[in-house]
């Protein structure tokens, strides 16, 4: 099976989580971190669900009852995280009718997408997937790859994002053409010391001056 890799912007979109246990809670917290609106449907819920709602009262809705057809109305994504294959299948069937992408925890036949094992540091997001074959192996590989990721990668990306904005918008760089700006960014990315220097300049609020010095 060939899968299409994609990163979704779900800020402000509704995700429905059917299930109230620890696995469901992890889904809810990750969805909230991505800016989604979340509805949880389950007769019993992990205490962390109430904590999540308390911290995000306008973005979390808890419905303590059994799942019923129609719960996915308006949803962009759905998650089935119950210990009942029959319920998971019912959620999958509704999602399929509505054209809603669904993930069922540890239940590949009832999934239209799979969740990778991932690590996030600021704007950096690295994901590893085995296409549902072995989440445990995906997690192991993610841990191995994470060792190669610099601890300050979030600062690096923030500096590069701001550098790109400055090069495009600041009058100090208006004489540079598109290719010259791209080459400068490639130069920064390709030099560890220079990249670290720019990250430090960004934190200190003097990235513009650092960039001016590089083209001078």
**What's the chain's Rg over C-alpha atoms?**
22
pLDDT value at 216 more than 80: no
Check residue 170 and give its pLDDT: 92
In tens, the pLDDT along 172-181 reads 999 999 999 9
- How far apart are the C-alpha atoms of 59 and 49, rounded to whole Å? 12
Q: What is the mean pLDDT of the chain?
A: 93
Check residue 39 and give its pLDDT: 98
In tens, the pLDDT along 131-159 reads 888 889 999 999 999 999 888 898 999 99
Check residue 131 and give its pLDDT: 83
In tens, the pLDDT along 46-82 reads 999 999 999 999 999 999 999 999 999 999 999 999 9
Q: In what order do the strands lie in the sheet with 77-80?
A: 60-63, 37-41, 14-18, 77-80, 101-104
Band of residue 105 on the pLDDT scale cut at 50, 70, 90 = confident
Tokens, residue 195: 């990249």
pLDDT value at 108 more than 90: no
In tens, the pLDDT along 18-50 reads 999 999 999 999 999 999 999 999 999 999 999
Check residue 119 and give its pLDDT: 87
Tokens, residue 73: 């109305």
Q: Which of 35-39, 99-103, 121-125, 195-199 comes out lowest in average pLDDT?
A: 121-125
Q: Rounded to an integer, what is the distance from CA 27 to the centroid of its chain?
A: 11
Check residue 87 and give its pLDDT: 95
φ and ψ at residue 82, rounded to 5 degrees: -110, 170
How many other CB atoms are found less than 10 A from the CB of residue 167?
Answer: 21
């Amino acid at each position: 099976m060939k899968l299409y890799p994609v990163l979704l912007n779900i800020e402000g979109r509704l995700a429905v989580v059917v299930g109230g246990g620890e696995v469901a809670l992890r889904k809810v917290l990750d969805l909230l971190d991505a800016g989604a609106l979340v509805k949880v449907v389950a007769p019993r819920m992990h205490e962390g669900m109430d904590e999540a709602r308390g911290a995000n009262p306008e973005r979390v809705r808890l419905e303590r009852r059994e799942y019923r057809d129609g719960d996915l109305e308006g949803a962009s994504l759905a998650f089935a995280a119950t210990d009942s294959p029959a319920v998971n299948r019912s959620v999958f069937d509704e999602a399929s009718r509505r054209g809603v992408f669904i993930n069922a925890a540890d239940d590949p036949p009832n999934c239209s997408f799979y969740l990778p094992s991932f690590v996030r540091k600021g704007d950096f997001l690295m994901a590893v997937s085995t296409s549902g074959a072995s989440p445990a192996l995906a997690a192991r590989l993610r841990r191995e790859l994470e060792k190669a990721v610099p601890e300050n990668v979030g600062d690096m990306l923030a500096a590069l994002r701001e550098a790109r904005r400055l090069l495009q918008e600041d009058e100090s760089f208006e004489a540079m053409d598109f290719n010259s700006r791209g080459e400068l960014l490639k130069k920064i990315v390709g030099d560890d010391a220079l990249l670290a220097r720019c990250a430090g300049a960004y934190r200190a609020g003097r990235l513009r001056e650092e960039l001016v010095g590089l083209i001078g």
